[in-house]
Structure 1
Amino acid sequence: MIFEMTYQVRVSDFSKGLRWYKALLNKEPDFTPHEGFAEWELIPGCWLQVSEGAPSEGSGPIRLGVLSIENERNRMIKELNVASFEIFTREEVPVKWATFNDPWGNRLGFFEYTNKDDEAKRINTILGRKLEV
């Protein structure tokens, strides 16, 4: 039985990486067990780990669900100097999605539900609360 998950990205400069991921996630780490390692619980049971070390080439992307992919793209460009990136859609896919790189080459991205009723149901199911708009 699988009941939790972690996903780890590595950064060559941990102090810069820590600042970058704090800004990306808009919060402090939830767990910092030792030097060179930080962990955020993104949703219950789903952890993103940032570790000092050589980035894994070609890994990812890990895509994070957001309420507005356009707003998050603008924030990433403005606050974190991420290069502008394209947002994709396909008629048969119920989300918009995009991929970008952190400064160490880790592939990240966002996705947004195109049907806001479906989005609200997912948030309610996953987080056990209603979406506050």
Structure 2
Amino acid sequence: MSDFLADGVELFAGVCVRDYAQARPWYEALLGGPPSFLAHETEAVWELAPHRWLVVEQRPERAGFAAQTVFVDDLDARVAGIAARGIEPAEEETYGGGVRKVIYRDADGNEVGFGGNPEADLAADD
């Protein structure tokens, strides 16, 4: 592993939105709760896993161009939880080996996808 990918690296993946006040409730529903912390009055940060953060920031000039994918252990449970909070996917994709990606889009068109590999989940259960 290169030094760049060694321990001590924090990943902050950014999503720029036009209207933070409108976007924040949608991201709270998508991610299942309030942000882990507020960087300032128009920037919220969710810790998705240790050292892995999703940042939503009001930057209208850059809004709508993000494409983030988060790989999760139980994609179906994640999608069901998001649906229970009132958000439906914009689209779904299936790749080789049963890998799936469920894509959500905010009001600006930013993409947040959740991916999973059910074959790997089944192998882990054996």
Shorter-normalised TM range: 0.7 to 0.9
Question: Equivalent residue for 2:103?
Answer: 99
Name structure 1 gaps, 5 residues minimum: 121-133
CA apart distance, 1:49: 0.5
Runs of 4+ in 1 over 6 A off after TM superposition: none
Please give the per-residue CA displacement for 1:18-56, whole angstroms capped at 9, x wherever unaligned: 111111111221121211011111111111100012244
Question: Equivalent residue for 1:126?
Answer: none
The one-letter amino acid of 1:40's match is W
**Cα-Cα RMSD:** 2.6
In the alignment of these two chains, the number of paired residues is 117
Question: Equivalent residue for 1:50?
Answer: 56
Residue 121 (structure 2) pairs with residue 116 (structure 1): yes
Question: Equivalent residue for 1:89?
Answer: 95
CA distance in structure 2 between the partners assigned to 1:90 and 1:101 by the alignment: 24
CA distance in structure 2 between the partners assigned to 1:89 and 1:119 by the alignment: 20
Check the 8 A contact 2:90/2:105 in 1, yes or no: no
SS of corresponding position for 1:24 = helix
Identity of aligned residues (%): 25
CA distance in structure 2 between the partners assigned to 1:10 and 1:25 by the alignment: 16
CA apart distance, 1:108: 1.2
Name structure 2 gaps, 5 residues minimum: none
CA apart distance, 1:104: 1.2
Check the 8 A contact 1:89/1:95 in 2, yes or no: yes
Check the 8 A contact 1:82/1:102 in 2, yes or no: no
CA distance in structure 2 between the partners assigned to 1:101 and 1:63 by the alignment: 12
